[in-house]
Structure 1
């Protein structure tokens, strides 16, 4: 089949693993569904939009942890596995090295941002919400690395995208960090009011950090060239499109002077 021939030029064949192949569909489906939920106004519980979307929230006792601790909990297991994977698996070539390095750098950057960049309010994160988020980041990292390990027994795809992937990953992680810094410095010390972000690509879209996040994972997918990495990147893109739509809608409701020409995530398009 012509379609399969084209796919095989860009991707390794699916590995002989029920777990990895199932996770390809589960990751895409869960991320895409969460993105569509954001479009419909159903937000994750740790989102700043959650309480706004709940007309009559039912209070119940939950174990709350500080936001900084919760976010460290999100990313630390993933970065630790990325680092340990260099010792778990033998050397399997440049592609495998680059993939593990990219994932480790990605989550290490997130940990460093939690410690040194992000600003936090008085609200915390419910422990019961933090646990599944932590597991999702950890499992996605484990699955992506394991899928690459299993793919090492197959011939390389005829179209090699790993160097383009490295370039996209570096662009994504750099742009994401830059726009996170802009957000972190938006309010002066002691200020609590929300402001419309300015500078960088914020003049074109309200969520440029999401745009660069997607570019980063597209880069990781190009480095890996596996079905799982492609599924995860596509699912992440759909989730962040929904998230950016909800963010723009929130800014429009909060600020009468919000620029109508500023899109959600993709300049001039969406």
Structure 2
């Protein structure tokens, strides 16, 4: 057994006072083992709340890291920082996607509350309502039954920041705009235009459905690459992945792009623009990680998110 000293990197909650402490670990012990030892001494300071670093450094050590391999000598300390109350990523995503599911029915079925008048819904409004409800119900079901997460939790306070994108942009703003009288069946902006043409509406529905099914297919591919309960990463191949590292983001954007073309709504275009910016940033980082991890094995002709462009 090897004795390690663990000190506090910052002020800790009352239930975790008493640092520095000494813990005994086996030569092959991992950071996860160290966290478990800390949690054994301070039960409320559970592993997910802990950020463990080498003393004097800021980068968190991965749970799989073997402790003695990162310590230059036995006198060097580890430090622990409290990350605060945590929520599971699955719970976070469920909360995020719930916003539009709750908000859109209110605007669609109770227009008098928001517009001061009844709205005779156009086919366009009905189609978009169906798209939104199907899309976010799909996202909820994927979160529960399909997705596997490489990180178990995130700070609970982040849920408000993360949810704002969906609850405000694709929830409140989109619903407030698209179900208003200007898009109704009796509006001059709709009557006699392509937006009440059934051929156009069904064509856009087909394109939207193609994007949704393609997005779902890529999520299934990603799930198949990671065994349950692991953080294993493999190179994805197949539909979509031959062109970009993150086809799930590409098809997600494509689906909302078709809704934007279908409606001409500024709110939908805004949501697409913001979403594309966020997902492009994620895709570039994942693309970089793939290349760093797999080196020459990773296909060099792939882009990050948009085929042949980005």
TM-score, normalised on structure 1? 0.72
Q: Deviations over 1:96-132 (max 9, x none)?
A: 1111111111111100001111113452021111112
Q: Which 10-residue stretch deviates more, 203-212 or 189-198?
A: 189-198
Once the 2 structures are TM-superposed, how far is the Cα of residue 266 of structure 1 from its aligned partner? 2.2
> Is 1:63 matched with 2:85?
yes
Task: Supply the RMSD in Å over aligned alpha carbons.
Answer: 2.4
Distance 1:243 1:192, change over 3 A: closer
Equivalent position to 1:149, from 179, 197, 201: 179
Equivalent position to 1:126, from 133, 155, 159: 155
Higher helix proportion, which one? 1
8 Å contact from structure 1 (residues 203, 262) kept in 2: yes
The unaligned stretches of length 5 or more in structure 1 are: 1-50
Q: Deviations over 1:20-41 (max 9, x none)?
A: xxxxxxxxxxxxxxxxxxxxxx
- Paired residues in the alignment total 217
Structure 2 partner of 1:10 = none
TM-score, normalised on structure 2? 0.64
Structure 2 partner of 1:224 = 263
Structure 1 partner of 2:305 = 265
In structure 1, the residue corresponding to 2:147 is in which secondary structure? Answer: coil
In the aligned structure 2, how far is the partner of 1:159 from the partner of 1:105?
Answer: 24
Structure 2 partner of 1:16 = none
In the aligned structure 2, how far is the partner of 1:95 from the partner of 1:259?
Answer: 42
In the aligned structure 2, how far is the partner of 1:195 from the partner of 1:243?
Answer: 18
> Is 1:206 matched with 2:282?
no
Structure 2 partner of 1:105 = 134
8 Å contact from structure 2 (residues 208, 255) kept in 1: yes
Q: Deviations over 1:200-223 (max 9, x none)?
A: 111221111111001111122123
Once the 2 structures are TM-superposed, how far is the Cα of residue 82 of structure 1 from its aligned partner? 2.8
Structure 1 partner of 2:110 = 88
8 Å contact from structure 1 (residues 66, 123) kept in 2: yes
In structure 1, the residue corresponding to 2:157 is in which secondary structure? Answer: helix
8 Å contact from structure 2 (residues 83, 155) kept in 1: no
8 Å contact from structure 1 (residues 167, 219) kept in 2: no
In the aligned structure 2, how far is the partner of 1:192 from the partner of 1:242?
Answer: 21
In the aligned structure 2, how far is the partner of 1:191 from the partner of 1:233?
Answer: 33
In structure 2, the residue corresponding to 1:107 is in which secondary structure? Answer: helix
Higher relative contact order (CA 8 A, sep 6+): 1
8 Å contact from structure 2 (residues 174, 268) kept in 1: yes
> Is 1:114 matched with 2:143?
yes
Aligned counterparts, 1:230-245, within 5 A: 230-245=269-284
8 Å contact from structure 1 (residues 220, 229) kept in 2: yes
Larger-Rg structure: 2
Higher strand proportion, which one? 2
In structure 2, the residue corresponding to 1:155 is in which secondary structure? Answer: coil
Q: Which 10-residue stretch deviates more, 70-79 or 159-168?
A: 159-168
